[in-house]
Structure 1
């Protein structure tokens, strides 16, 4: 299924052909509750591939500043605390500059000009992640190495079609979040009414 008017052939590309990367490092000794940066680590990846704020912060210094994630970049978690792989290979799309820093076992993926960030987010959390899960190593705690990940391929449409696809799914995610928020509020109201009626 494709959007109307797009007819160009999608090309196979390895991730390393369309994105640069840089890895994380252990920054636990720079954690500080009053730190400048929100820390992205294994616990920051939700099952819906949305950021979970664990309240962990890191100070700004030479080490952490070199691991800051920029707007339009993505992060990918390279390990999982469980053997079933619910988190491994998930990616976050960063939409704000100088707010997040990566910890170890997270890779920053920086799309080149022929890869749209929103499209990359859709692909990396969809068909590409299935391929990542096929190359995991380890037992009770599984992991992948990024050099193997970046050699995996996916189908890449022309940039204008990527933008269309990325925008479509971004809007869909927004609607889902909006309705989930309304649903959560209704559940809270219901609980409150039940307590008031039956106490």
Structure 2
């Protein structure tokens, strides 16, 4: 396995918020995530709030591609993760990872989330709430095998996570 920096295998992208005073920027059809929506599920498909194309163009938010982006919270509750399965944008509480699929398997990288979260918390700063910068996220260290091995490991972790989710649902139904 090879030691790499996260910034070498993924583009790290911050988010932004369109002006809430301009109604033309809101209630559009572009997903726009906030950190409170992340961390409960491995995948996210739809955000609570939506922005318009004008809102995207008049803010520092960027459109992130589906199935290539891991949302990573960078403020307050640092290190919550989710894989986006539809295109979307985020507010400034994120330093999201847009992967190069030739270098990294998305579910393999998602599975390393706790390792990267622990590093991020150690590098966080701030007095009101903790935050990690784009530069520090790029420098997070991880060890990765070749892409074929990543895909096998990622597939295994995905199956395990799906089984755990299924068991949790069954447990909740039984409790009811």
**Could you state the TM-score of these two structures normalised by the residue count of structure 2?**
0.83
Deviations 1:93-152 (CA, angstroms, capped at 9, x unpaired): 12x233x321112122111221111111111x1212111111111134111101012112
**Pair 1:44 & 2:37 matched:** yes
Correspondence list, 1:87-126, <5 A: 87-94=77-84, 96-98=85-87, 100-112=88-100, 113-123=102-112, 125-126=113-114
Counterpart CA distance in 1 for 2:18 and 2:95 is 14
Q: Judging changes above 3 Å, is the alpha-carbon distance between structure 1 residues 63 and 48 closer, same or farther for their aligned structure 2 residues?
A: closer
Structure 2: gaps of 5 or more residues = none
Kept in 2, the 8 Å contact 1:22–1:108? The answer is yes
Counterpart CA distance in 1 for 2:158 and 2:6 is 21
Larger CA Rg, structure 1 vs 2: 1
Deviations 1:6-40 (CA, angstroms, capped at 9, x unpaired): xxxx01001111111222111353332xx313321
Deviating 4+ runs (over 6 angstroms): none
**Pair 1:25 & 2:13 matched:** no
Secondary structure of 1:36's counterpart equals strand
Counterpart CA distance in 1 for 2:163 and 2:19 is 36
Structure 1: gaps of 5 or more residues = 1-9, 81-86, 189-199
| Number of residues of Structure 1 aligned to a counterpart in Structure 2 | 168
**Which stretch has the larger CA shift, 63-72 or 173-182?**
63-72
Secondary structure of 1:69's counterpart equals coil
Q: Aligned residue for 1:130? A: 118
**Could you state the TM-score of these two structures normalised by the residue count of structure 1?**
0.75
